[in-house]
Amino acid sequence: MIITESAPKMPPKSSTPLLGASSGSGVPPPAYTARDAPVGAAHAGPQAAIYQPVYPQPQLVGESAGRRFFKAFMVALGLWLLASALVTSVVDDGAIGRFRDNEYPVPTGVHLTRCITDWSEGETTKTPVFTTPYPYGTTVSFDFSMPPETLLLMSKGSLSSGQLKVTTADTTDVKVKVTVYYHNQRARDTAKICMVSRKDGEQGVGIFTPKWWQLPRDRNLRLSFDVELILPRGSALSSPQSVNALSTDVDNFSHEVDSLEDIFNFRHLSLTGSNGKISARSLRARDATLKTSNGAIIIDSLSASTAKLTTSDGLSLVALNAAVRSSNGGISGSFNVCESLDLTTSNGPIVVTVGINSSDSSKASTLTMRTSNALLASTIDLHTASGKGGKFPITATTSNARLSTTIAALPLDAVLKLEARTSNDLAEATVPLTYEGAFSLTTSNEVPSVRRADPKERDPACAEDGVACDARRRTVETRVVKKNMVMGVTYWDKANARRGDVSMRTSNGHVTLTL
């Protein structure tokens, strides 16, 4: 069915006139007020469009994963360091509390007779900043008679380190003065300074600090000691006083010893330290042992029947009998001995001047020099009390470096046995006119050389002026055994052609013997 309208629809008469239409009454229409509507909201009815500006919303840019990880890592690291510092501080601070006696490394057989544990007994002062990094120092001292057997001085423990000075004074008693430098008073209070005894007649002073598995990380908890051992000169100034024994055993200490040679004659002298040098002006002892590590032994004069020196750096020595052993350090200086000298190191040069003065020509006076991977250079004077004879076995050994040995003096009719060895470098030796005996020179790839130092050789048995001397002629015989080996003999008297022996060997280097 179709419905049609016969007339158009008209608005009712009561309706508001359309916008812009005139009213018959002449009254203007009311002002139109539009309400704000949300952007994009639908309007009911036919309303006029109103312009609303649209502002773009700011967009947040997200951080990269790497940056977020870095921030998180730094925060975690900071927290870990803070916790670590707190734990370390608590552990270190707790560690410096009261220690049981067995936590102090007292050597076996050593007895503590009297200890200073209350440091208020000592004198405490503030230390000048230019003398020590520690702001405080406390000093205590002991006075006692010289022990009949051994005077002891020892220092043991993780916090024990410093320097020891040995001096003399016009007193009748031994005095030991100990100054401990510190930041933290509780750390200082862990140290025990004690009178100690070992066997009958052995007495002295010991410094003991706790035995930790490692040093505190906080340097404010560390200690340093200055120890002065003052020996009594007494009234016997005309000749050295006899002292049976002096023994020091101080870990992480250096030694500085005054000139004692004219004041004391020690039967046994033992100076032992570590991580510090031993320096002395002059010493006299029957048996001397000096030992340290990571430091030099520097001695102007040492007179001893037997001596053993062990170090890891260079040294200078005068002794009657000495043994010097080092590692990863050089040995240099002037050495004068009577019976024997042993110079041994590794990976360090030996550059020495040696004098051997044998008091008994019937006994051998030996010289041994050994190193590796470093130069060995020596000048040697050999003498006897009578000016004749003597037995002198000499060994000089290195590797991968030059070897040079000069025998500058040798008594008439002496027996010299020289063995010189190196590798991958030159080997050379010089012996004086007084040498009589055989020689053997070997290398790997060339013919060794034998040279005569002076074509105008003079018989060493003749006096300097040559008066009333039936001068002998020197004979040098050489023969090439192989292309890399030369053997021979030299003599003034054919009966002495096999008296001594010089044996030299190297590889990849030349060998030269100067007669």
What does each of the 515 residues of the chain score in pLDDT, given as a tens digit? 344 444 444 444 444 444 444 444 455 555 555 455 444 444 445 555 565 665 555 555 556 777 777 778 888 888 877 766 555 544 445 545 545 555 889 999 999 999 987 777 667 777 665 567 889 999 999 999 999 999 999 999 988 999 999 999 999 999 999 999 999 888 888 899 999 999 889 999 999 998 875 555 667 788 999 999 999 987 655 578 999 999 999 999 999 999 998 899 999 999 999 998 888 888 888 888 888 888 877 777 777 666 677 776 545 555 556 666 656 667 777 777 888 888 888 888 888 889 898 888 888 999 999 999 999 999 999 999 988 999 999 999 999 999 999 999 999 999 999 999 999 999 999 999 999 999 999 999 889 999 998 877 888 888 766 565 777 889 999 988 888 999 999 999 999 999 999 999 999 999 999 99
Q: pTM for the whole thing?
A: 0.54
Segments in 51-167 forming alpha helices (H)? 65-95
Q: Check residue 220 and report its DSSP letter.
A: G
3-state class (DSSP) for residue 70: helix
Sole residue written with tokens 């002298």: 269
Residue 205 and residue 194 in contact, taking contact as beta carbons nearer than 8 Å: yes
Beta-strand pair 485-491/136-144: unpaired
* Residue-level pLDDT at 225: 96
Segments in 221-268 forming alpha helices (H)? none
Tell the burial category of 254 from Cβ atoms under 10 Å away from its Cβ (0-12, 13-18, 19+).
buried
Three-class DSSP labels, 368-390: EEECCCCCEEEEEEEEECCCECC
Length of the chain: 515
- Of 381, 373, 326, 311, the residue nearest 353 (C-alpha): 381
How far is it, in rounded angstroms, from Cα 303 to Cα 398? 28
Dihedral pair phi/psi, residue 473, rounded to 5°: -105, 140
* Residue-level pLDDT at 16: 45
How far is it, in rounded angstroms, from Cα 426 to Cα 428? 7
Spell 214-240 as b/e; 16+ CB within 10 A means b.
eebebeebbbbbbbbbbbbbeeeeeee
State the number of CA atoms in the 13 A half-sphere of 159 facing the CB. Answer: 32
Strand partners, 285: 266, 304
Q: Check residue 106 and report its DSSP letter.
A: P
Which amino acid would we find at residue 349? P
Measure Cα distances from 248 to 195, 200, 268, 306 in Å: 14, 17, 11, 18
* Residue-level pLDDT at 7: 44
* Residue-level pLDDT at 477: 94
CA-based R_g, the chain, Å:
46
Task: Give the pair of three-digit tokens for residue 468.
Answer: 């009333």
* Residue-level pLDDT at 81: 74
Q: Which helix (H) or strand (E) holds 316?
A: strand 315-316
